[in-house]
Every structure is written in structure tokens, then in C-alpha cells.
Amino acid sequence: MKRLSLLIKTAFLPVFMLMLGWGELKAQSANVTLNHGDGWYRLILGGHPRAGGEISIYGGLGNNKLTLIKLHATFMGYSQYGSIEIVENLFYNGNHVDAIRSGTIGGGLSALDFHFVGITGTPTVVVEVDGINMTIADPPEYEPVAPTGVTNISGRVLGISSVQWPVYFGNKVGIGTSTPSEELEVNGTIRSKEVKVEAAPWPDYVFSADYSLKSLEETEVFIKENNRLPDMPSAKEVAENGIALGEMNAKLLEKIEELTLHLIEKNHEIKELKSQMSEVLKELKVK
């Protein structure tokens, strides 16, 4: 019964897509020559009003170099955005596809352009297409006018690019680890221009009238006994569990605010001592 259901789905899906107006399902293959060296080549043309499917490009490009890149792409006419997903990216002695773009080229039609680098002579690449309303451009247009409604992606990644829609992962994501325990776990270094962390409550409560501020004497005793500040994790805890960035920033600010209160208190004491010293000096001068 399950096998029959699978056969029905397999047979019905192409018909259903055609009924929806997606167009003709078609597999194609062509040996395409790159006659102009490095640059943009328009290899795929998308039909009206939408197109999509699987595209593979592979072959040698001179100097004992080999490239194989496979991707899924969708195009929408009338400057509507599509998506590009690179699912396989293999190369030997250098990847020759360093950028890919798709978009509308007029009349509701679309195109997929590839930027080749590091090629020599006039090499031939195999282009395979399996999808709907897509045609291999042979010969390809060299350095075409960039399409509109562009979706861009680097040719040196595995990943997804979608201008209109966010990329969603429904489970934990691991980078450098196959067993992530959090929604995103990175076994390595993260470089970012900015990190925004939501943290609540923020320690404005330190300045409330009812806040219980430990005296410096109490803090000194705690440090001698525990070798750390009150309410802060120990070195062992951090080594075992790491730190929550938002929580730690809040704790550090809490300690800064407590220190500020102690400084304000000490400033008052210093002023009082100066005033008393001034009175003593006046009395000594009178005598």
C-alpha cells in the first residue's frame, strides 16, 4: 500500500505542477565553451513567468583544474525574487565559480549568471539542467547586463540565498560540531561587527532605595573565603558551563554600579573628613 501511494505521488506531482502553470518538465545537458576567459557568463535562461530546478556545472578549466558545482534555483518573472541553494561544491586546484546571481532580464523572463575566475584558454564545461521552464544558453552570453531583482550567492560556499525570505532552520545548527546542544553551537571563533543580546532584568535595581548593598568589609570577607566576587561564577563553573553573555554583562554592570555607590559613599566621607580637618586647622591657628 505504501509503495502504491509513493507511485501515485511520483506520477501525480509533475502533472499537478503542470496544471498549476509551472511549465514543461525538462532535463537537458550541453557542453558549453567559455570563449572569453574570466568573467560573467549567462548559462541558464528561465521561462515566463517562473522557472526552477536542479543545475550542475562540471569540467576542467585548464592548468589541471576541475570544478563541480550543483545547485537548486528558482526564478520568478516580473522582478520577483527567487532563491539559490548550493548543495554540492567540489573542486581540484581551485574553485572557478566564485559568484552566482539570478534575476529578471526583461519581458518577465529570468536568467542565472555564473562568474568564472582562474580559467585558461577556451575550456568546455558540462551544464546539466533538470527542471521546469529552464534552457541552457549555448553559446552563453558573456558579460551580460546584470539582471534586476537580483539574488546573489558566493560560488565558494554550501548554502542558501534568498532576498525576499529569511533562511529558516527547524532544528539545532552545529558549525564545527555534529552534536550541537543549543540552537546554534560553534566549535571555533565567531567574528561579527555587532552582537545584540536581550538581557532582563537590567541592574538598575542597584540604585533603588531598598537595595541591600554589601559593605566593603563583607565583600572582603567573601573574597578571602571564595576567591571571587559575590554573585559571580567561579573559574571552575565557567570552565565547565561557559557563560551566558547577557547574564554576565548584567552581573558586571551590577558590580560596577555597586562600586559606584561605594565610591559615592567614600566621597562623602572624604568631604566630611576635609571639613573636620579644616575646623581643626582653624582652631590651631587661633591658638
Summarised one tens digit per residue, pLDDT across range 90-109 is 876 677 899 999 988 987 78
Mark 69-90 as b/e (b = at least 16 C-beta within 10 Å). Answer: bbbebbbbbeebbbbbbbeebe
Task: Using DSSP, state whether 80 is helix, strand or coil.
Answer: coil
As given in the structure block, the three cell numbers for residue 57 are 556545472
As given in the structure block, the three cell numbers for residue 135 are 534552457
Q: Is the pLDDT of residue 239 over 60?
A: yes
Q: Is the pLDDT of residue 6 over 80?
A: no
Half-sphere exposure of 86 (CA within 13 A, CB side): 22
Q: Is the pLDDT of residue 281 over 80?
A: yes
Report the residue count for the chain. 287
Give the residue from 34, 167, 148, 39 showing the smallest Cα distance to 102: 148
Task: Using DSSP, state whether 11 is helix, strand or coil.
Answer: helix
Q: Is the pLDDT of residue 21 over 90?
A: no
Summarised one tens digit per residue, pLDDT across range 58-76 is 987 665 567 889 999 988 6
